[in-house]
Every structure is written in structure tokens, then in C-alpha cells.
Structure 1
Amino acid sequence: MKKFFESLPVHDYTTKLSVSIVYAILASVAMNFFYQPGNIYSSGITGLAQILTTLSTKVVGFKVPVSITLYALNIPLFFIAWLKIGKKFTIFTVLTVTLTSVFMQIVPQTTLSNDPIICAIFGGGVMGSGIGFALKNGLSSGGLDIFSITIRKKTGRSVGSISMYFNGLIIFVAGYLFGWQYMFYSALSIFVSGKVTDAVYTKQKKMQVMIITKNPDNVINEIQKKMRRGITIIHEAEGAYRHDKQTLLLTVVTRFELPALEAAMKESDPSAFVSISDNVKILGHFYEEDL
């Protein structure tokens, strides 16, 4: 039993728990400080939960809290995540959604501004930073993130862009039911949220790396020790000035892996020439770790 507990990645689990708490706080601040006071509808399942909460007064006679509708809508998605993405991912998603619902319930609704544009921009920024931070650390905020991650793995599209396609229906319904001005403000918020998510979540941004080195074996071993990436080797590349023979290595990494690549180059060949092309498009298989 002692060996079993010693083998558990406790540091990884405590980190994910901390990230879940941070996301829950950010999502609750966005909802209770900006979205609710400004009548702004969020993206994805959270926006759908807001719509159902708004309609609940007319349908059932009392207002169902957003925290309850949000959790109820996520329950069937947990099963999809369990089957399509992974068990560990699903467990932490359940934890994150649970903490988010709890924090949304206990954080008091506070009006910082009555300007819907300010609420839309800052609410979207806070929510997008929370979503991006969670995804960057291998967690999901639930809802449409599950679909976005699945589609991103197949198509290579960014998470923020995928979410915006799904969210078109949400903002249209919000505008139709509660006034078209809410549609435009909500669209602004969703746009900001998507851009901030893409800025924070860097695992989806791919970079082509060209390395010219005299120590290819050391470089290849060090890179593959730090990350799982294929490398193309071109032998006897000739320099135009000295006409010396060197080896050209080509690979593709994510922006998230860039610090690991820099560390690998410092350890294997500090004098190598490294050229990096930002945000390249990939056709074909590109390995991505499961969250």
C-alpha cells in the first residue's frame, strides 16, 4: 500500500487541483462581476445555462441558479469525455465543473459597471484567460471544450476558433429571446474570450524548426529526451561562405514546447544555428499528447 501511494504523481495531481481552483474563481468572477450585471451571455454550455436560467422564471415560476443549470448540462458531456478523450481527463473535468458551480454559487454578484461593452470585454477577457489556463495545464472547463478538443485533434483548428463556430447559435438565441442588443454584446464577449484563450493556450500553435549543427546525434538525442517529436535529417548541408559540411535537422514543435527546445539546444550544441518559423500549418499526422 505504501509503495502504491509513493508511485502516485502527487505533484501532478496537486497542480491540476490548483489549476481547477484558479479556473473556478476566474469563471465565477467573469459570471458574477461582468456577465450577470451586464446581461451578457457567455460562450458554450455556460451561455446555454444562462439562457435556461433566464427562462426558468417563466417556465417553472422561480429562478434556477446558473450554477445548477451549468452542472446539469455538463453531466451528459462527462460520459462523452470518458469515452472519447480519457478517464483521467474526465475525472479532472468533473472536479473543475463541480468547483466552478460551487464558486458561482458562493461568490456574490457584484456590479462593477453598468456599461455592457465594459462588461463584455472584461468578462470575455477573464473567462478566456481561465479557459486557456485550464487547457494549457491539461484541464477542461467542461461543456464545448470537450467537443473543441476532439475536433482540434482531427482538424488542427484552434480551440478558440472552433468555440466561436459553436457559439453562433447561443448568441442568436439570446438575441431572439431577450433583445438583439444582447446578441451583439455577447458576440463581442465571445470574440474576446476566444482570442484570449488562443493567446494563453499555446499547445495548439505549431512552429517549424530548422537546426544547422555539427553534432546532430547529440541534438537529436536531447530533443527526443525532452519531447516526442519526429526529426528529418539532411546530411552534408554545405555553407556558402566556408563550404563546410554540416547537418540540417527539420522538426515541428508547439509554442508550449519552445522552452524545452531551447534547453535541449543549450545542452547539446549551443553554437548551432536555429531558425524558427511561427504558426505554421500542418498537413498529415502531428502527435499531440492526451490531456
Structure 2
Amino acid sequence: MNPFWTTVLLKQINRGKSAKDTKQKSSSVSDYRLGKAYREMKVVAKGNVKDFTLILFGIFSAAFGFKGFLLTNHFIDGGATGIALLTSAVSGYPLYLLIILVNLPFIIMGYKIMGKRFTVKTVLAIIGLAIILALVEFPNVTNDNLLVAVFGGFFLGAGIGFSIRGGAVIDGTEILAIYMSRKFGTTIGDIIIIINVIIFLSAAYLLGIDIALYSMITYLAASRTLDFIVEGLDEYIGVTIVSNHSEDIRKMIITKLGRGVTIYKGKRGMTNQGEDQEVDIVYTVITRLEINKLNLEVEKIEPSAFIVMHTIKDTKGGMIKKKAFK
């Protein structure tokens, strides 16, 4: 290994030790520990490059949505970006300044809730977006209200989604929703809906009913695009199967679906004999396109098998193919 990197890794391994201990133990550090430290450093560096690339894509996409579609037509979105757009449309203050001011309280809140790393990325993302909005000119793509609402929302939602993929946000509403859900015990979705209802009612009063209605289309387009970017094309389904033929089902899932399987040891809660009966519980993860095939194959093996399915936001590793940008 290059002597420079060896020195760096030794410092990483011995961080927190006294200088004397470091000097004595540096020579005895095994190749395994050096290799492990190098691998960890490589993973962190690769992750940072990927994250900041995604954030950069997000910044330019959101800026294009703002200046190419929404700003010239005074359409707004939900959340913090909607507040900034609405304030800009009413007051005439530049959007790049309002983006920072509106998100500032959420950044402070994010530091307390999400930690330093998230906050640093978010600050860089929001400042980067403000700089792009201030310095880069984008053409006004169209004046058709419906196209503006749909595609403005699309590019804005894509920008927010890419930023989230990179570990940051350019819209701080979800941070507020997380904080309030923890404080008051409500769901995050309910809080976001309440915030957006207030924003769109304000838009209807200040900008007119037509703009408010088109802005709701913008919000729907942005939210659907955001979901697509964050969650990916495939929707994963976790499947739990309780059956007396668990071994046959396990083999079927591996051979016919090509999916990994986890086996849990469990007991039936209700039996005709009135006593506990041990059973192997099969768990696997499939895509929604494979649900029909799985049900058909399980029915061939045991029609009375008990099957529970639930949606999974994301997966990593195992025999599930990787999602885009993950």
C-alpha cells in the first residue's frame, strides 16, 4: 500500500490514543486492520461523491422547475418551497433569498433531530439552490398553465427527490412534520396535509382561485415525482407465509422466483389439539409484479396457507435487485 495512505490509515486507527501509545502500537497494526480502515475510508468517500452528485442534480432540477415554469406564472408548490414562492409572488422579494430565510428554522430543527451530517448537507443544498436561482438564467419554457403546473411540479419534485437521495433536503417541511409528530403524537402525513391546506388556502385568497387550483396540480405532480425518485420504479412487498409445507414453499421461491428467503421459527396460536404447534414461517421480499405468480405457486402447494403482505420502502443487499440511485 502507498506509504501516504498507510500513514493516514494508522492515524485513523489510532485516533483517540495517546501519542506514546500510537507510536508503540503503529508498528504492530495488522494488515487486516489497515485493509479494514482503507475499505471504510473508500466506502465513505464513494458515498460522499454519490450524495453530492445527487444533490447537485437536485439543485439544478429544482432551479429549472422554478425559473423555467413556476416563477413567471406565479404558481406555487406545497411545503417550504410553496411558502417561499407565495411570499415572492405577493411581496416581490427574490426567491433565492426567501428559499434561505424560509428554510432557516427547519435547518436549525434538523440539526437537533437529524444530526450534524444531515444539517451540513442541507445547508449546502439550500445555499447551492439559492446561488443557482440568483446567477443562472433558465428559459421560460411555456405559458400554457396546465403544462406549467405539471412539468414545473415534475422538475421541482425531481429536485427534492434527488436531494433526499443524497441525504439532504431543499424543502424543510418534512423536518417540521417529524418534529411535530414526535411532540404531539400525530402522523407525519397528517401534519404535511395540514400545512399544505393552509398554504393553498392562502394562495387562493392572495393570488386567486385559478392559480391556487393549478398550484394543487403542481403539488400533486411534484409529490408523485418525489415518490418515484425516492422509492424507485419497483415497489417492494414483504411477504410472510405460514404453512405446513414451508420447505416446499421455500424451494419454490428460490427456484421459480429467484428470491432470497428467511425462515423464522414460530408457534401456532390456535390449534385443534389445544396445544402449541411449532411451524416454520417463510419470509421473502418480491416486487408487486410478482405477487400474482407467488400467490399462484403457493396455492398449488397449499391453498390454505396464511399469507401476509406489506409494502417496503426500500431494500439493500440480499437477492433483491438494487433500486435506481441507491
Same fold (TM over 0.5): yes
Q: Deviations over 1:126-176 (max 9, x none)?
A: 111222233234322232132345578877766xx7644421211221221
Distance in 1 between residues matched to 2:204 and 2:97, nearest whole Å: 23
Cross-structure match for 2:265: 233
Cross-structure match for 2:317: 260
The structure number with the bigger radius of gyration is: 2
Using the TM superposition, give the Cα deviation of residue 233 of structure 1 relative to its aligned residue in structure 2, in angstroms: 2.9
**Partner amino acid, structure 2, of 1:256:** D
Give the aligned CA root-mean-square deviation in angstroms: 3.5
Q: Which has the higher contact order (CA 8 A, sep 6+)?
A: 1
Q: Which runs of 5+ in 1 are unaligned?
A: 57-62, 217-225, 237-244, 265-291
Cross-structure match for 1:132: 161
SS of the residue corresponding to residue 240 of structure 2 reads strand
Q: Deviations over 1:173-232 (max 9, x none)?
A: 1221122211111111111211222222228x773223645899xxxxxxxxx9xxx974
SS of the residue corresponding to residue 256 of structure 1 reads coil
Which of 93, 100, 107 is the matching residue for 2:122?
93
Q: Deviations over 1:109-132 (max 9, x none)?
A: 422111111100011111112222
Cross-structure match for 1:147: 176
Cross-structure match for 1:51: 86
8 Å contact kept, 1:37–1:109: no
- Percent identity at matched positions? 21
State how 1:107-122 maps to structure 2 within 5 Å.
107-122=136-151
Distance in 2 between residues matched to 1:14 and 1:208, nearest whole Å: 31
Which of 248, 272, 277 is the matching residue for 2:281?
248
SS of the residue corresponding to residue 84 of structure 1 reads helix
Distance in 2 between residues matched to 1:155 and 1:254, nearest whole Å: 21
Cross-structure match for 1:280: none
8 Å contact kept, 2:84–2:102: yes
Using the TM superposition, give the Cα deviation of residue 96 of structure 1 relative to its aligned residue in structure 2, in angstroms: 1.1
Distance in 2 between residues matched to 1:28 and 1:45, nearest whole Å: 15
**Partner amino acid, structure 2, of 1:35:** L
Which of 222, 236, 239 is the matching residue for 1:193?
222
Q: TM-score, normalised by structure 1?
A: 0.68
SS of the residue corresponding to residue 262 of structure 1 reads coil
SS of the residue corresponding to residue 126 of structure 1 reads helix
Q: How many equivalent residue pairs?
A: 235
Q: Deviations over 1:29-64 (max 9, x none)?
A: 1000110122211221112112222333xxxxxx42
Cross-structure match for 2:8: 2
Cross-structure match for 2:109: 80
CA pair 10-200 structure 1, distance change in 2 beyond 3 A: same
Distance in 2 between residues matched to 1:152 and 1:10, nearest whole Å: 34
Q: Deviations over 1:256-278 (max 9, x none)?
A: 20x634259xxxxxxxxxxxxxx
**Partner amino acid, structure 2, of 1:144:** T
**Partner amino acid, structure 2, of 1:262:** M
SS of the residue corresponding to residue 260 of structure 1 reads coil
Distance in 2 between residues matched to 1:30 and 1:162, nearest whole Å: 25
Which of 47, 63, 68 is the matching residue for 1:12?
47
Distance in 1 between residues matched to 2:142 and 2:128, nearest whole Å: 26
CA pair 215-250 structure 1, distance change in 2 beyond 3 A: closer
8 Å contact kept, 1:214–1:247: no
Distance in 1 between residues matched to 2:133 and 2:312, nearest whole Å: 34
Using the TM superposition, give the Cα deviation of residue 102 of structure 1 relative to its aligned residue in structure 2, in angstroms: 1.1
CA pair 198-102 structure 1, distance change in 2 beyond 3 A: same
Distance in 2 between residues matched to 1:157 and 1:85, nearest whole Å: 15
Alignment partner of 1:169 is 2:198: yes
8 Å contact kept, 2:153–2:222: yes
Which of 201, 205, 208 is the matching residue for 2:238?
208
Q: TM-score, normalised by structure 2?
A: 0.62
**Partner amino acid, structure 2, of 1:260:** G
